[in-house]
């Protein structure tokens, strides 16, 4: 089964009969400005990708860890993980997952036969976490932007280790948060088979197309994933680009500042051009902003509230698409997630929203 994600411009362009080049695509949380592609040695296109110690050093420096595996994106790990975990712990049958969040996690665990216990913004009560279970936290969450504090996560890590469980922290969007909040730098001993951290490269560096990411875990986990994924996971040019980007502190600082400025301008634009009386919250990170539509105009019943909330978000989604502006309607259809526009695209977005409001 293929899930619907943002970034499916071809499909949406066809649906609304507007040529792909005429769209403003804000449907993903990928930075609108990307790391400039360096001049790539031609040889890297000619030979098979080699283990790249320069990239490994750069990644260990950037993520502040000693134990990582270079992968072709977090997605490959998400898909394979339930099978490998089941081999590790045959008694494990339950996974706790965020109800709102990247749905590939749920698909992978459900496909492997795990029972899903959904949680909302608040993590499941620590004392109620069952033996041998798996907890997946997306930090910060996409699309809600909810950030879990590191101290909290460390206590869950301890709990899952004690109860023979697995703690998976997906940090796809954490690059725009204070580095101290990341779990990537915790020391993972070789006996710790209970903690895995996923880092995506494509979002902050704006280069999702080159497919590269990193898994942080103990040596045994890294070796098992490496064996299962096989050789040549990441092509040579992608390795080269990622190495330069991960080393480039100056560009990273600039990117942080740009995303911070653009995302706060986006927040203002949304507040000014959306009917705020129909909106509960606008939340997110410097890589996206999510607008939650009010459950209902009149506080009659919960059922009506949900229908109205869905209607507003969906109506807005369609009205924006009709103007060639593509945003992400969340799976529950109650919210719209806006990727960060480039400075030159703000006017088009503001006009499209104003046209709907007026
Ligand atoms: C929360 C989250 N995790 C992981 C991924 C997968 O990213 P990638 O495979 O590019 O690292 C995504 C993609 O959108 C995501 O939103």
CATH 3.40.640.10 in the chain: give the residue spans. 47-247
By most ligand atoms within 8 Å of CB, the mutation choice from 200, 201, 207 for ligand 1 is 200
Q: Which atom of ligand 1 is nearest to the CA of 200?
A: 11
Tokens 């129909």 belong to 278
- Give the tokens for residue 196: 């895995």
What stretch(es) of the chain map to CATH 3.90.1150.10?
Answer: 9-30+251-357
| Total number of residues shown for the chain | 358
Instruction: Give me ligand 1 centre to Cα 75, in Å.
Output: 6
- The closest residue, in CA terms, to atom 14 on ligand 1 is 102
Taking the mean position of all CA atoms in its chain, how far away is CA 353?
Answer: 26
Pairing state between β 288-293 and 335-339: antiparallel
Ligand 1 binding pocket, CB closer than 6 Å: 73-75, 102, 138, 142, 170, 172, 200, 202, 208, 213
The top-level CATH class assigned to 47-247 is alpha beta
| 213-216 vs 195-200, strand pairing mode | antiparallel
Instruction: State if pTM tops 0.85.
Output: yes
Q: 305 CA distance to ligand 1 centroid (A)?
A: 31
Classified as helix, coil or strand, 282 is strand
Return the exposure string of 42-59: e unless at least 16 CB atoms fall within 10 Å of the residue's CB, then b.
eebeeeebeebeebbebb
Atom of ligand 1 lying closest to residue 6 CA:
14
Q: Give the pLDDT of the chain (358 residues) as one tens digit per residue.
A: 677 788 899 999 999 999 999 999 999 999 999 999 999 999 999 999 999 999 999 999 999 999 999 999 999 999 999 999 999 999 999 999 999 999 999 999 999 999 999 999 999 999 999 999 999 999 999 999 999 999 999 999 999 999 999 999 999 999 999 999 999 999 888 878 999 999 999 999 999 999 999 999 999 999 999 999 999 999 999 999 999 999 999 999 999 999 999 999 999 999 999 999 999 999 999 999 999 998 633 334 444 444 466 668 999 999 999 999 999 999 989 999 999 999 999 999 999 999 998 7
Q: Give the CATH class of 9-30+251-357.
A: alpha beta
CA of residue 144 to ligand 1 center, whole Å:
15
């Amino acid at each position: 089964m293929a899930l619907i994600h943002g970034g499916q411009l071809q499909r949406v362009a066809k649906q609304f009969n507007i040529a792909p080049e005429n769209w403003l695509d804000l449907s993903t949380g990928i930075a609108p400005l990307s790391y400039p592609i360096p001049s790539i040695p031609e040889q890297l296109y000619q030979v098979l990708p080699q283990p790249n110690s320069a990239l490994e050093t750069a990644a260990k420096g950037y993520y502040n860890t000693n134990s990582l595996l270079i992968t072709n994106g977090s997605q490959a790990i998400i898909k394979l993980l339930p099978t490998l975990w089941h081999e590790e712990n045959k008694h494990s049958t339950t996974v706790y997952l965020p109800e709102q969040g990247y749905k590939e996690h749920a698909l992978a665990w459900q496909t492997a036969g795990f029972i899903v216990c959904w949680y909302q913004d608040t993590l499941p009560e620590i004392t109620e976490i069952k033996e041998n279970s798996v907890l997946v936290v997306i930090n910060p969450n996409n699309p809600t932007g909810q950030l879990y504090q590191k101290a909290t996560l460390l206590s869950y890590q301890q709990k899952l280790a004690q109860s023979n469980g697995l703690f998976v922290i997906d940090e796809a969007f954490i690059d725009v948060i204070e580095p101290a909040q990341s779990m990537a730098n915790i020391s993972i001993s070789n006996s710790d088979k209970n903690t895995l951290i996923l880092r995506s490269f494509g979002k902050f560096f704006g280069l999702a197309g080159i497919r590269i990411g990193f898994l942080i875990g103990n040596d045994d986990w890294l070796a098992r994933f490496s064996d299962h994924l096989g050789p040549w996971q990441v092509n040579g040019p992608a390795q080269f680009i990622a190495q330069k980007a991960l080393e480039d502190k100056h560009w990273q600082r600039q990117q942080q500042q740009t995303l911070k400025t653009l995302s706060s301008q986006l927040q203002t634009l949304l507040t000014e051009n959306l009917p705020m009386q129909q909106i509960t919250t606008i939340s997110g990170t410097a890589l996206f902003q999510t607008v939650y539509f009010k459950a209902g105009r009149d506080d009659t019943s919960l059922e009506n509230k949900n229908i109205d909330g869905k209607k507003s978000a969906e109506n807005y989604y369609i009205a924006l698409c009709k103007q060639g502006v593509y945003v992400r309607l969340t799976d529950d259809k109650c919210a719209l997630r806006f990727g960060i526009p480039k400075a030159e695209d703000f006017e088009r977005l503001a006009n499209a929203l104003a046209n709907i409001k007026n």
